[in-house]
Chain A
């Protein structure tokens, strides 16, 4: 696995960990403000913090460790091509996701309906996260998920 591939894989894992944490935190967030549930909620939050930051530190160590040889290159023309294609796919997905979400909203509330103001930034935030996911998955698919890269 080269640096680009590792970076995409680590980003994807970190991203998935953050999503799981976000979903889990909705369950414990109420306990944080109650004196009875506070110690337990703190333990859960600390567990997730150690897990996520631990994985980030491990990722950084694996990504930026010393090269085996000075002649070894970190990326080349193929990596650049893969990154360019992934950016293009991400860009297309931005439009696709925005149009889809607006169409769904339009379908739900109708032409004369109204939505709370907070929905719009939430849509942008959701699209932003989805684009990160799309970029990393696009990079990994183009490399063949690491295993099918013709390595013998």
Chain B
């Protein structure tokens, strides 16, 4: 079975944005601190609206904050290119 995973740069972006705390980010995006912790550690994939909110908090496009890794899609795209 292929492994699908949503990776994120939240931890790095928080530190680059004036060492923003998890609680501050949680307050800005309207979620609990536990949810930010779960997203950062990759245990929870946020909904699309929440992902957009987080990206907008950092003033960045969503692709720069979240990356979706799909082995199935990548392997099929590579075989089509070849």
Contacts and interface: CB of A to CB of B under 8 A. Distances in A.
Interface stretch (B43-51, B55-63, B72-80): B43-51
Contacts of A5: 34
A150 interface: yes
Contact of B34 (A77, A149, A152): A149
Interface in A124-151: 143-144, 149-151
Contacts, number: 51
- Give the secondary structure class of B's interface: helix
B11 to A, nearest CB: 10
Please classify how large the interface on chain A is, using the bins under 10, 10 to 19, 20 to 34, 35 or more.
10 to 19
B31 interface: yes
A73 B30 contact: yes
A36 interface: no
B32 A73 contact: yes
Please classify how large the interface on chain B is, using the bins under 10, 10 to 19, 20 to 34, 35 or more.
10 to 19
Interface of B: 23, 26-28, 30-35, 37-38, 40-41, 43-44, 46-47, 50
A73 B58 CA distance: 20
B25 to A, nearest CB: 11
Contact of A77 (B23, B26, B43, B47): B47
A77 B50 contact: yes
Contacts of A74: 32
A95 to B, nearest CB: 29
Nearest to B37: A150
Interface in A47-87: 69, 71-79
A2 interface: yes
A78 B38 contact: yes
Contacts of B50: 77
